[in-house]
Structure 1
């Protein structure tokens, strides 16, 4: 059915272009009538007629060129319904889902670094349209975005006014504007442009070579597993030395909303938009009322890297953690891998078995490099302060949001220390997070 449809479209386009070509050739080649010859001989009237004929021919030539471009576009879109089978031959299949990339921009001309990498690694303009939503009205940044022409769609947030906030929140005006911009931009993607999913990046993120492959492979799982609500490209503890460079294909579930390059579905936006917060939208996402015990998927090695030290957060965590995050450089063919292990029913059982069957060790053994064997090893904590002290001394992110540690899954934080896998975990029998641990 789809093959016939594609052939019909191409045939129709070809016939339309051919008809225009015939008309142009006819106008150029046909002999003039006697009246037209007399008018030509008569001087001015003949000159006008000749000019009209030339103008008509030029118009048809321009139309012919436009139809040629349309035909090329149609041929390009064939890839959306024709896919190779195991033998490499073309087979007809359902159109692949379009996953737009939404770049949130403001006043940083370094958005060029973000866009250059997205365009360098993007495998298909049709499957991954890039939408840049700009707030702030910064002319130089707008000029940089505009320089990409039709390669990106440039949206401009129309409301640049200050937001009325209570006096003690005046210093947080930037956070209020960011939240307003996110709401507007996501409404454009889902409601105005009618997309069903989106990957959100900010203008200070650089992406990895397999960034698009990563999100493409995980879209079906996000769509089918209701216990998930996002896919993130980011590992908060993904500094060099804390991740396994030989496990670029390793993925996790996490109860912590990571952000920094993340995918969501329209269904989630329909749920969140009516109660979207005035400010601090990312920490709001981490509250129990929004998370609702749902998890995100995140990688062992990050698929994004932040290069923006300056911003409304004034570089919080940047110098100590973020600037050292390892960006993946190896292309992993995720779409060819079996990722069914990430489904909640399988993952929870396997993960807990791996964590609580690991050798139980003390902090001093980890810190002093006295571990024996290849691991993995498990290190227990039983209080908020206990977690914070261990995390800080071991070099992983120590803050908690609504009781959830960064990268944590069922309270467990996984990382490498001196080349060995460590699980910083609550004792067996863990049941839920304590929101007062913040």
Structure 2
């Protein structure tokens, strides 16, 4: 398929150049009023001003189009090594699934920190190709990316134009461009390069030593469980002191889409791509229409850490929460562990038994450290307001998206407090989220 695709692109480029060359030759040989270059008496007539202007206009248009085609051909040539991995019997296919890493980049020269860690911890070039998709056209960032040579593939988003938005959304122009870039970059990975899965990170993320191991171990579960739609490396409440330091191997199902280092399958992209939003793509992913009651896997201790305070969100949550997220430093051999407990039925039954079998405690008991026993303990909320008050006072993230709390599973938020497991939970008998809780 890739050989045919490459041949078609190459032939198309040749035909385009040949056609435009013939057009230019025709125009240069054409006299006024459709006559040949010589008049009836063998005298070459001077072209009219209108004809000269028309030729110049067509030549300018031709030059612009040729430049566009040149850029496309450059992209094709950069894709070519990736296609070569997949085509023809002469290249031995990997015995294990290939999981590419897609790095979304713009204008941060500090992308070097992200790429250095990815390359440091990458166990296999063949199994984990790194594709950097750059928007913004920032020359200094592009130079940093180019400095890695053939260790990575560097793609450039071709459309850098401003996006027409309503006047009240002028300040959100960056969010529109990010959504456009995500759409383009994911289309390249899934449709043009034809990978079957991808892990997406942004240029301000540092990864843990077992980042690749984590995603490799969970790919089979993501493929086999129709009630999962992503795997994330991120715990929104993963600050030091709010996670169990002795449980680096502990994983959860969550109804909240975490992002910040996440894996999806091509089938999901084929579902989402036709309706991809013009802006605010991450909150759009959290709408019930997209989530469709599916869950993600997330870790107790994050496998990514964000170091990008500055961005389109202007550091929202960074100083209060994100800068304190604990990054895992212990390598967990996830591919050798039994992860069957994460299957929906088994997980739900065990989770609900543990949560609603735990003794109910008061906020004062938790806050003042007056709990007796090793836990876990249950702290109950009954409304949107009571959830937000408890979450804020306990130091965990209190915002909800379409009614789902960050890290929540069936309304329950799990976190550590003073060395004990706390479940902030709705009353027994919970059935569904209320989208008005936002």
TM (normalized to structure 2)?
Answer: 0.79
Tell me whether 1:273 sits opposite 2:234 in the alignment: no
Partner of 1:323: 323
Structure 2 residue aligned with 1:45: none
Structure 2 partner of 1:310: 310
1:218-229 to 2 correspondences below 5 Å: 218-229=218-229
Return the alpha-carbon distance in structure 2 between the equivalents of residues 123 and 416 of structure 1.
32
Q: CA deviation at 1:359?
A: 1.1
User: 2 CA distance for matches of 1:336 and 1:288?
Assistant: 34
User: Cα deviations across residues 275-309 of structure 1 (Å, max 9, x unaligned)?
Assistant: 00000000000000000000000000000000000
Equivalent positions of 1:29-48 (< 5 A) are none
Q: Is 1:182 aligned to residue 163 of structure 2?
A: no
**2:369 is the alignment partner of 1:369:** yes
CA deviations 1:297-352 (Å, max 9, x no partner) are: 00000000000000000000000000000000000000000001101010000000
Residue in structure 2 matched with residue 339 of structure 1 by the alignment = 339
* Cross-structure match for 2:294: 294
What SS is found at the alignment partner of 1:359? coil
Distance in 1 of aligned mates of 2:334 and 2:162: 44
Q: Distance in 2 between matches of 1:333 and 1:172?
A: 42
Secondary structure of 1:360's counterpart equals coil
Q: CA–CA distance in 2 between the matches of 1:428 and 1:304?
A: 34
Q: Secondary structure at the match of 1:150?
A: helix
- 2: distance between equivalents of 1:226 and 1:259? 19
TM-score (norm 1): 0.79
Counterpart residue number, 2:258? 258
Separation of aligned partners in 1, 2:415 and 2:383: 20
Q: Is 2:413 the partner of 1:413? A: yes
> 1:309 is paired with a residue of what secondary structure?
coil
Question: Any idea what SS the aligned residue of 1:133 has?
Answer: strand
- The separation in 2 between residues aligned to 1:349 and 1:374, in whole angstroms, is 22
Q: Tell me by how many angstroms 1:172 deviates.
A: 0.1
Alpha-carbon distance, 1:135 to partner: 0.0
For 1:191 and 1:433, the matched residues in 2 are separated by 34
Structure 1: distance between partners of 2:120 and 2:96: 21
Deviation at 1:174, TM superposition (A): 0.0
What per-residue deviation string (whole Å, max 9, x for no partner) do you get for residues 117-174 of structure 1? 0000000000000000000000000000000000000000000000000000000000
Corresponding residue number in structure 1 for 2:404: 404
Moved over 3 A (4+): none
CA distance in 1, matches of 2:217, 2:373: 35
Q: Distance in 2 between matches of 1:309 and 1:359?
A: 40
CA displacement 1:381-416 (0-9 Å, x = unmatched): 000000000000000000000000000000000000
Counterpart secondary structure, 2:107: coil
Cα deviation digits, residues 257-278 of structure 1 (max 9, x gap): 0000000000000000000000
**3-state SS of 1:350 partner:** helix
Deviation at 1:364, TM superposition (A): 0.7
Query: In structure 2, what is the Cα distance between the partners aligned to 1:241 and 1:313?
Result: 26
1:341-385 deviation line (CA, Å, top 9, x unaligned):
101010000000010001110111111111011100000000000
SS in 2 for 1:240: coil
Q: Could you tell me which residue of structure 2 aligns to residue 115 of structure 1?
A: 115
In the alignment, the residues of structure 2 paired with residue 187 and residue 369 of structure 1 have an alpha-carbon distance, to the nearest angstrom, of 51
Gap regions ≥5 residues in structure 2:
1-83, 85-90
Aligned to 1:138: 138
Structure-to-structure mapping, 1:9-158, within 5 angstroms:
95-158=95-158
Aligned-partner Cα distance in 1 for 2:305–2:359:
33
- Distance in 2 of aligned mates of 1:222 and 1:147: 35
Q: Secondary structure at the match of 2:372?
A: coil
Q: List runs of 5+ in structure 1 lacking aligned partners.
A: 1-69, 71-76, 82-94
1:84 aligned residue: none
Query: For 1:296 and 1:193, how far apart are their aligned partners in 2?
Result: 25
Q: Could you say which residue in structure 2 is the equivalent of 1:432?
A: 432
- Aligned mates of 2:391, 2:110 — CA distance in 1: 33
Q: Residues of 2 paired with 1:345 and 1:383: CA distance?
A: 27
- Correspondences of 1:230-249 after superposition (within 5 Å): 230-249=230-249
Following the alignment from structure 1 to structure 2, what is the Cα–Cα distance between the partners of residues 376 and 283?
Answer: 31
Say whether residues 1:207 and 2:226 are aligned partners: no
Secondary structure of the corresponding residue to residue 259 of structure 1: coil
Distance of 1:161 and 1:262 partners within structure 2: 28
In structure 2, distance between residues paired with 1:398 and 1:328: 24
